Structures are given as C-alpha cells and as structure tokens.
Amino acid sequence: MDVFLQGFSQIANVSTIIWMAIGSVVGIILGALPGLSATMGIALMMPISFQLPTATGIGLLLAVYCGAVSGASIPAILLGIPGNPNAIATVEDGLLMTQKGKAGSALGGAVVASFIGGIGSLLALVLFSPLIARLTLAFGPAEKTTLALVGLVIIASVSGNNIWKGLLMGAFGMALAFLGTDPFSNQLRIPFSKFLATTPLSKGLDLTSTLIGLFGISQVFFELRKPLLVGQHIEPVKIENIFPPLRKILSMWKIILSSLGIGTVVGAIPGTGASIAVFMAHNSAKNITMNSKGKLDQVGSGSLEGVFAPEVANNAVTGGALIPALALGIPGDAATAVLIGALMIKGVTPGFHLFATNMSLVYAIFITMLLANIFMASFQLFGVRLYPKILSVPQQILLPLILILSFIGAYAIAGQATAVGIYNLGIALVMGMIGYFLKRDGYPIAPIVLGLILGGMFEENFRRAVKLAGGDYLTFFTKPICLLFMALSILSIVLPIIAKKRGKR
Amino acid sequence: MKRNRIIISMLVVLLAAGMLFAGGAAESVYPDPEKNITIVVPHAAGGSTDLIFRTLAEEMKKVSGVNFLVTNITGAGSATGTNEVINSPADGYMFLGAGTHTTAATMQGLTNGYKELDYIAALNWDPFIIAVRNDKPWKTLEDLVNDAKSRPGKITLGNAGMGGATGVASVGLNLAMNKAFNVTPFNGGADLIASVLGGHCDVGIFSQSEVVANSASFRPLAILTEGHSSLPSLASVPNLAEAGYPTITVPGGSFRSIMVKKGTPETAKKWLADTAEKAFNSASFQKFMKDNGLIPVFSKLDAFAEYDKGIIADYEVILKEANLYKMTN
C-alpha cells in the first residue's frame, strides 16, 4: 500500500493533470486527422516529456495514445475515412449509421466502447500482466504465421456480397505487401528496381499513405461523380441520443467480452497490432449477432454492435500493448515502442527489473492510464455533439478540405523527410485512383487492407518459422497453438457454409 | 513609356542586388538560427540508436542554441533513411545518425551509403552480448559451441536483422565456429528478445540494455568486446578470449557516428563536428553513455575517416564470406 501511495504522489499534482488534459485533446485531434497516428503523436510529444518528471511525462504520452486511438473513429463514422489504422473496421457500420441519420449515437457508442476497452484492458494490465506476458511469449514465428492465417480467413467476412471479389482484393493486398525489400536478405523486390532502388519506394508501400489513398482520396473522387448539389438545402443534422441505453450495452456483453479479449491479447503479442485486432473483433461480433436469434442487430447493417466491437478492441490494444512493454521491455506495438524509449531516456529500463525495483512508478503509470481514459471519454463526449456539424458543411467546401487534409496527412507522416513525404503523396494519389475504380465497380476495399497488413506478417513469420525448424515445413503441425489456429481457420470457413445449407432446408 | 522602362530596369537592378545580398548573407552565417538542423535516425523511435541521437540532439541544442530535430526514417535495413540524407541538399542542415548499420547497408548494395557521405564525428560502441534463456543447459559459451558443433545446424542463433550490426556479428561468429549454428534473422531487437524468452530461438545476440531489462530470464555467456562491460550487472560477463576463444575477432557491437552528405561546405562540417564534440563531452551525455554501458570513441573529421577504414575492412571480410557483399564498384 505504501508503494501505491508513493506512486500516487508522483502524479497527484496540477501539472500532471494539465499536461494529461492537453495530451488527451492533442491525441483526439491527431487521431481524427487522416494519417496522423498514435505513434506519431507520441513521438511529437516526446521532447516535451523529456522536460517533465518521469511519471508526468509518461502520463502525457499515454493521454496522447488513448486519445489518438479513440479520435480515429470520428472521421471513420462521419465520412467513412479512418483517421488511422485503428479505425479501419469501424468504417462499415459507422458510415451506414451516419447515412441512416444516427451519427450521434454511433459516435457516442464509439466513445463508450473506447472507454470500456481502455478500462477493461487496464484491469487486465494491472491484474494479469505476468500471466499475459508469459502467454504472449508462447507466440513465436510459427504461432504468428497461423494467427495471420486466422486473420486472412476474415477476408471472406469483410467481402460484402461478392466473396470472389473480396478474395481477389485480398490477393491484391497481399501482392502489394510483398513489394519492397526481402525481410531476410534486404534485397530489392520491386519492379524497375534500377530506378527505384534509391527512392523511398524501395522499402515498399507506406501503409498509412496507402490507407489514406484507398479510403480518403478515393471517397472524394467517388463523391465527385455525383452532380454537385450547389445551393441545395442541407438538412441540419439532428443529434439524437448520444448515450446508448444501458440495457443495450448490457445486451452486447458477449461482443464486449470477446472484443476486449481479442484486443488485449492481440495488442500484447509483439508484431501484431490494432489493425488486426479490430478486424478480428468485428468478425467475432458478426458471428455473435448472427447466432443471437434476432436479439442483437446484425453487424454490417449499420448497427451499434458493428461500431462497438472494433472500438472496444482498439482501445483494449492500448492496455494490452503495455503489458509486454512494462513486464518484459518488449513493445506490443509501434506506439509503445516510443513509450519505452521515453522511459529509457529517463534512465528507467522497463522489464522485470522495473517491477522489482520501482513498483511505485509502475503504479503511477497504471493510474495515469486510468486518467488518460477518463480524459479521453470526457473530452470525446463533449465533442460528440459538435462533430456531426461537419456533415452540414456544403460539399464544395468539405470535399476539397478532405482532399487537402488527406494529402497533408500523407506528407506529414514522413516528418522531416521531404523525399519520403513526396513519394507518400504519390502513393496516396495512385491508391486513391485505384480505390475509386474499385469502389465504382463494387469491389470491397477492406480486404486489400487485410491482405496488405497480414501478407507481410504471414510471409516473414512463415519463412522465419521454417528457418528455425531447419527447413522443416511440418513444424506448424507440431505446435498446439498452431493446430488450434489452423482448426479455427478451417471452422470459420466451414461453419457458415453448413449453417447456410441448414437454413435453406 | 520611357519613364516606365527606366523604373522597370531600376527595379530589376534592385531585385538582383537584393538577391545577391540575400544569397551572400545566407552563405556567411551557418548555422542560420532561424533554421532547424535535422538528424535522420534510420531506425525506429524508441530503439537504442534513436535514444543515443535524441540525447545527443538535446545536448547539441544546449551547447549551440540551434534547434536540432530528430526524425526517424526506417526501412530496408537502414538504407531508406540514409538515402533521404543522400537525396537532400548538402547544406549542413541535415545529418545522418550513422554507424555500423550504414557500413552494413552500403556493402549489401542497399544504398550508396558511405560512398556519398562525409565524416563528421565518431561517437561510441554499444557492445553485444551472447545470451540464452537461463533454463537452457549451456552454462558457458564453450558448452554452447561444443553442443552446436556436435549437431551442426540444430541450435538456432538469432539476430535483429541481417542488414544490421547484430546480423554481421552473428554471421561472423558463425563463420568462426565452422557454421555450427542456424543463423536466423528477426524483425528487430524486440522480436528477437521475445523469441529467445519464449524458447522459439535458442541463442541471441543482444545489446546490453536488452540483457539488463530481462536480467531475471537471461544468462549472458560472453561479451563481444576486448574489455568488460561498464555496467555493474554485466561487469562479470567474460569476453571472447576469457570464454576460450582468443583467436576469434568479430565486430561485436554497434558503432554510432554522425555523417553528412558529400559536398557539404567545410565550415558547416567543422561547426557540426565541434558542436558534436562539445555535446559529447557534456556531463549529461557522458553520464548517459556510462549508464547505458556505451564505450566512447570520439574522433572527428579526418581522424574519424581514418578510424572508419578499420571498421570497413573488418566488415568486408565477414560480408564477403557470408555472400552478403553486393556492393558494385
């Protein structure tokens, strides 16, 4: 208890509260702007955190982290453009809800979901850190290969009406993932390698710029096809109930628990991350609602369930990613890698050592994480009433604005690297055009993203697992976790087919 | 009409004079206090290379009053960040957080690297440590090597990526041990730690801070330098000679330095080298190095160029033998 109080006293001061409030607002804004990710927000704030006491500095960074993850859902719901990869699975149901005039409750639901995810994963962090940390260590290259396989199977479920189009897009995404350098030998694997070798394209496509292009810029082009309705009266957006009724939240307990579990564990496994967790949570919620016998609204139809699942999961990733970061000194994702760096600069080495010698700081970090979530939820609930007003902005202003912000986002992720920034602009533009043609012809975009993210993870870990086994391809069949995941992948293909056949009878 | 022409020509002369003046002014003051100096770190934020340059940047800011900004440009080993520096103007407002990763990337043909860079300052070495999980049977390096030689290719030796310094060190070590190990590259230091802790990989080559962070689970077998670690918890780890391998020499650490694009004005290079020297000698940077077990090897400009020739010679042998040497001309 003494140690806890020591930890509490490290952050029980006005400066911590003020810096965390600032961090939270900055995080939400950065998260909402296309392309500006949580990682970037934390890196931006790092120089400020140098000047602050350790616990206050970490609190500031955690506030930015939680804010950015939650903020990304705002443009995803209102415009169908995710602020960063955390919100890619929120787009489908979020945008449909907005089109149904339920933008307010979608946004409000997302905030509540984010809060539940953040607090739930914090509890896991406080109570089960050592256990989950050990669990994540069980995930070696072979296990991660099969985890990626489970993710790839989800392509079928995000394919919309035409599964063949979905699979084709998934394959396209995987092909894009292989561009760049070979993960083992670093040799170039790009067309026109003679000319592109010394350009930023040599490392492959920048993920964020690709997302900005596929979701943001293509959406602008798509809207431009319709005749512009200049001078037309735009219905003012009504803000109905923002808070989802408690009964509704309680009825979704299965979805919340499964998303929480997925987010925390996937977040804790190094080298995975939120973009995989949100799709897995979305997919799991889809199965839950399908088997709910009409008690829950179907995911994919513009339901609160479809917003809740990925939003619980992406904020659960924040607590999950902190588990290996604090317990083992191994970052769970890119954002926590920067956090570890901020600690090390202060002379604090995370890992077993930290828990053994500086438990008061660990407690201080836990409390700031709680505060970060409270700040995030309060500012977000305040903002939720304002955000939908963006929909009343006439198109001739809104569309150029989105285009400008998208390009700024793609350029800004490169930081000071102007050459990389300019190539990012090119990637975003080309992907925007590709995305436009695909949307026009009814090809789903989400499978490309899944293929792109999982393709790289699959290839790298597959080759590493086989190398570790001395070239033995059967290594995947000797590990229990791998067998479990492979069985899961097969089941998730077979079960819906059986269910459909039964339904027809 | 005529008057207009006179006015225009006067304006042109004025404009030209203004441009000349402005140009002259820009040339004479380096660094322009209005401008930032960018440090390109070719590795991810939060890693050990990043931390060294961020700490140095803070000190360079303090001793010079000029604003230094760190930007992380990752990818292709360290080639993407290196290329960014090579593709930017040689005006002294951008420098590379260079080192052994630059040497390795250049020799693998991923970037023109050091062939298009000039030497500013050598900073320090971060020695590597060979470690295993502490429930593994090998108590000493000799145990491990004997076991590996008795069943070649069965014991896995992980590194943080072929393109980097741990990659070169692991390949060099394996060549010296008659390729007894199965050398496997991982996706960065964190990935390697997790895999060794999880038992997916038997042996790893780590930097000191990585071993300290997991001291409860790791058993360090040897440090790959001539001396010993300056960190109290690792001071007793034997070096290669003490571990029974006095004849083996591998570049057993990662070296960090500052380089700029070739063609940067001499005044700018000298200013950067002097500022780096002052920052390097500051009490807080010295403390940072001591706390993290970094071995200082400061030299600047021509002396550093001479120093780097030794590293290049060491690397060339290992990369050629490992068939990783792809440098043309």
Give the dihedral sign, CA A252/A256/A259/A265. negative
**Partner-chain contact B75 A352, CB within 8 Å:** no
pLDDT 10s digits, A136-165: 888 889 998 998 888 888 887 777 677 888
The answer, yes or no, to whether residue B112 has pLDDT greater than 60, is: yes
Give B138 or A44, the one with higher predicted confidence. B138
The answer, yes or no, to whether residue A37 has pLDDT greater than 80, is: no
What's the start-to-end Cα distance of chain A, in Å?
63
The answer, yes or no, to whether residue A449 has pLDDT greater than 70, is: yes
Burial of B8 (0-12, 13-18, 19+ CB in 10 A): exposed
SS (H, E, C) B239-282: ECCCCCCCCCCCCCEEEEEEEEECCCCHHHHHHHHHHHHHHHHC
pLDDT-derived band at A173 (thresholds 50, 70, 90) equals very high
Q: Confirm or reject contact between B44 and chain A (CB < 8 A).
A: yes
pLDDT 10s digits, B178-206: 999 999 999 888 889 889 999 999 999 99
Q: Among residues 278-297 of chain B, which lie with CB inside 8 Å of chain A?
A: 291
Question: What's the CA gap between A315 and A310, in Å, rounded?
Answer: 9
3-state secondary structure of B44: coil
Give A390 or A1, the one with higher predicted confidence. A390
**Partner-chain contact A200 B110, CB within 8 Å:** no
Query: pLDDT at position B21, please?
Result: 46
**Partner-chain contact A331 B200, CB within 8 Å:** no
**Partner-chain contact A468 B112, CB within 8 Å:** no
Shortest CB distance from A337 goes to which of B45, B199, B200? B45
The answer, yes or no, to whether residue B23 has pLDDT greater than 50, is: no
Question: What's the CA gap between B259 and B252, in Å, rounded?
Answer: 21
Least confident among A249-253, A418-422, A441-445, B276-280: A418-422
pLDDT-derived band at A431 (thresholds 50, 70, 90) equals very high
Nearest CA to CA, how far is A322 from chain B (Å)?
14
Q: Model ipTM?
A: 0.78
Question: What's the CA gap between A240 and A105, in Å, rounded?
Answer: 7
Average pLDDT of the segment spanning A253-274? 89
Query: pLDDT at position A236, please?
Result: 58
Closest residue of A to B210, CA-based? A329
Residue of A377, A406, A26, A77 lying closest to A211 (CA atoms): A406
Closest residue of A to B96, CA-based? A417
- Does B31 sit behind a cis peptide bond, omega within 30 degrees of 0 on the bond before it? yes
H/E run at residue A408: helix A395-412
Nearest CA to CA, how far is A159 from chain B (Å)?
31
Least confident among A198-202, B14-18, B158-162: B14-18
Chain centroid to CA A475: how far? Answer: 31
What number of C-beta contacts closer than 8 Å exist between A and B?
169
Nearest CA to CA, how far is B322 from chain A (Å)?
11
Q: Confirm or reject contact between B60 and chain A (CB < 8 A).
A: no
Domains of chain B with bracketed CATH: 36-125+253-321 (3.40.190.150), 127-234 (3.40.190.10)
Nearest CA to CA, how far is B53 from chain A (Å)?
11
Query: pLDDT at position A130, please?
Result: 80
User: In B, which residues are within 8 Å of A415 by CB distance?
Assistant: 71-73
Query: pLDDT at position A421, please?
Result: 86
pLDDT-derived band at B4 (thresholds 50, 70, 90) equals low
Beta bridge partners of B255: B125
The answer, yes or no, to whether residue A341 has pLDDT greater than 80, is: no
Q: Among residues 10-39 of chain B, which lie with CB inside 8 Å of chain A?
A: 36, 38
Give the dihedral sign, CA B99/B101/B105/B111. negative
pLDDT 10s digits, A225-249: 876 655 555 555 666 677 888 888 8
**Partner-chain contact B213 A345, CB within 8 Å:** no
Average pLDDT, chain A: 86
**Partner-chain contact B46 A414, CB within 8 Å:** no
H/E run at residue B83: helix B79-86
User: In A, which residues are within 8 Å of B94 by CB distance?
Assistant: 416
Asked if B263 and B90 count as a contact pair (C-beta separation under 8 A), the reply is yes
Q: Confirm or reject contact between B194 and chain A (CB < 8 A).
A: yes
The answer, yes or no, to whether residue A302 has pLDDT greater than 70, is: yes
Q: Confirm or reject contact between B87 and chain A (CB < 8 A).
A: yes
Question: What's the CA gap between B318 and B316, in Å, rounded?
Answer: 6
The answer, yes or no, to whether residue A84 has pLDDT greater than 50, is: yes
Nearest CA to CA, how far is A463 from chain B (Å)?
10
Which token pair is B299? 């030299």
Asked if B8 and A298 count as a contact pair (C-beta separation under 8 A), the reply is no
Nearest CA to CA, how far is A239 from chain B (Å)?
41
Query: pLDDT at position B26, please?
Result: 46
Q: Among residues 89-108 of chain B, which lie with CB inside 8 Å of chain A?
A: 94, 105, 108
Average pLDDT of the segment spanning B298-312? 92
The answer, yes or no, to whether residue A293 has pLDDT greater than 70, is: yes
Best A179, A195, A209, A344 member to test B by mutation, with max B CBs in 10 Å, is A344
Best B43, B78, B83 member to test A by mutation, with max A CBs in 10 Å, is B83
User: In B, which residues are within 8 Å of A137 by CB distance?
Assistant: 194, 197-199
The answer, yes or no, to whether residue B16 has pLDDT greater than 70, is: no
Asked if A130 and A327 count as a contact pair (C-beta separation under 8 A), the reply is yes
3-state secondary structure of B234: helix
The answer, yes or no, to whether residue A415 has pLDDT greater than 50, is: yes
**Partner-chain contact B84 A136, CB within 8 Å:** no
Asked if A86 and A41 count as a contact pair (C-beta separation under 8 A), the reply is no
Shortest CB distance from A420 goes to which of B73, B190, B217? B73
User: In A, which residues are within 8 Å of B46 by CB distance?
Assistant: 331, 337-342, 344
**Partner-chain contact B77 A416, CB within 8 Å:** no
Best A48, A194, A198 member to test B by mutation, with max B CBs in 10 Å, is A198
Residue of A202, A233, A256, A175 lying closest to A434 (CA atoms): A175
Best B154, B195, B208, B325 member to test A by mutation, with max A CBs in 10 Å, is B195
Asked if B116 and B200 count as a contact pair (C-beta separation under 8 A), the reply is no
Query: pLDDT at position B183, please?
Result: 94
What's the start-to-end Cα distance of chain B, in Å?
63
Average pLDDT of the segment spanning A344-357? 75
